[in-house]
Amino acid sequence: MSFHVVKGGVLTTIQDLGRTGFLDQGVLESGAMDRISLRTANLLVGNEESEACLEMTLNGPEIEINKDSLIAVTGEGMVPFIEGERFPVGTPIYVPAGRTLHFKSTKTGCRTYLAVAGGLEVPVVMNSKSTYLRARLGGYKGRALQKGDCLHIGEESDLAKKKIGHFKQKNAANPQSESWSANGELLTTEESETTIRVIRGTHFYRFTEESQEQFFSRPFIVSPKSDRMGYRLSVDSSLELTESFSLLSEAVAFGTIQVPPDGQPIVLMADRQTTGGYPRIAQVVAVDLGRLAQCRPKDEILFKEISLAEAEALFIKQEAAMSARKIGIYLKHR
């Protein structure tokens, strides 16, 4: 045992980059809602980018750390405290055994990620450690963390061992952090934080001209009923089809925006179903999925249309920036 859960927080689950390759068998991908934050947290502690982390929502857990550990916290929504002392987000933090880690919520953001050098030792189910709550699959007993849970930590990488040794030489008795950080979005943008870019969905043309115009001109409110399966959005005037039609269920993706009969859109998220039978008005572009995942209930969002070519170019640019971040973190560790 290395982590003892004193308090579970609102919703704390184990997630990695998802359970890919099983959609044809009806098994969801799950995985982190904000994958750039998860990847960054792992790099900061010398793990592989795909290693499992704790995904914490709105209000974080309280954890007793029973082994000298190297941790990192990324994302938005909360900041870490060790024995009452605040520590920065986006940097390696050395925590001596016997210290308690807790989190305080901030006014913006929704999801924060905690990585530990060596990763979380839970069973790998269908090539992933991710938790799918509705099926009680993966993660820690297929559920969110609760008071009294104990998590085991794996073997640290040579890079992490070297970093821990460096901290111990400076002051083995007290928690310490680096003076540099890596966190947040990778691409600079002129867009508002509330603007989410999309491409037209396969059924966009089946909506009335008024609804098409409304979709890109009016703000939508994130409903408190939103969760890891989907973000329910509300707007004063419901989106309407030109005429009703029958639709066979088809494959859906992270970020697919469906419109059910009530005219209030739903953005499908990490724990989405494998297929959907509602009209698809749009698709959130990959680079904005993490930004969307950081929206809180009652936040306003605006949709902006871009082309498929623009979306692909942004994704390539983001991955290039992620590679630069990875190199930068490695050089800092050395």
In contact, 213 and 239? CB cutoff 8 Å: no
Q: How many CB atoms lie within 10 A of CB 127?
A: 12
What 3-state class would DSSP assign to 124? coil
pLDDT at residue 28 above 70? Answer: yes
Section 280-298 average pLDDT: 96
The Cα-based distances of 214 to 77, 80, 164 in angstroms read: 30, 40, 54
Distance CA 94, CA 164 (A): 7
Helices 158-171 and 308-333: angle between axes, nearest 10 degrees: 50
Those residues with Cβ within 8 angstroms of residue 117's Cβ, 6 or more apart along the chain or in another chain = 45, 46, 47, 69, 70, 71, 153, 156, 157, 160, 163, 164
Choice among 47-56, 241-250, 312-321 with the minimum mean pLDDT: 241-250
Mean pLDDT of the chain: 94
DSSP 8-class letter at 155: P
pLDDT at residue 190 above 70? Answer: no
Q: What tens digit of pLDDT does each residue of 39-60 get?
A: 999 999 999 999 999 999 999 9
**Six-digit token pair at 240?**
């309407």
pLDDT, residue 266, reads 97
Those residues with Cβ within 8 angstroms of residue 320's Cβ, 6 or more apart along the chain or in another chain = none
Residue 41: closest CA among 128, 119, 153, 152: 119
Longest dimension (CA), the chain: 71
SS (H, E, C) 63-119: EEECCCEEEEEEECCEEEEECCEECCCCCCEEECCCEEEEEEECCCCCEEEEEECCC
In this prediction, residue 138 has a pLDDT band, given cuts at 50, 70 and 90, of very high
Q: What tens digit of pLDDT does each residue of 80-104 get?
A: 999 999 999 999 999 999 999 999 9
pLDDT at residue 256 above 70? Answer: yes
Distance CA 208, CA 232 (A): 21
Q: What tens digit of pLDDT does each residue of 232-242 get?
A: 999 888 999 99
Domains (ranges, CATH) in the chain?
3-184 (no CATH), 195-316 (2.40.100.10)
The Cα-based distances of 69 to 14, 150, 155 in angstroms read: 18, 15, 11
As a whole number of Å, the end-to-end CA separation of the chain is 29
Q: What tens digit of pLDDT does each residue of 262-281 get?
A: 999 999 999 999 999 999 99
Residue 263: closest CA among 248, 276, 279: 279
The alpha carbons of the chain give a radius of gyration, in whole angstroms, of 21
79: buried, middle or exposed (CB in 10 Å: 19+, 13-18, 0-12)?
Answer: middle
Distance CA 114, CA 86 (A): 15
Distance CA 115, CA 35 (A): 13
CA pseudo-torsion sign 320, 195, 297, 262: negative
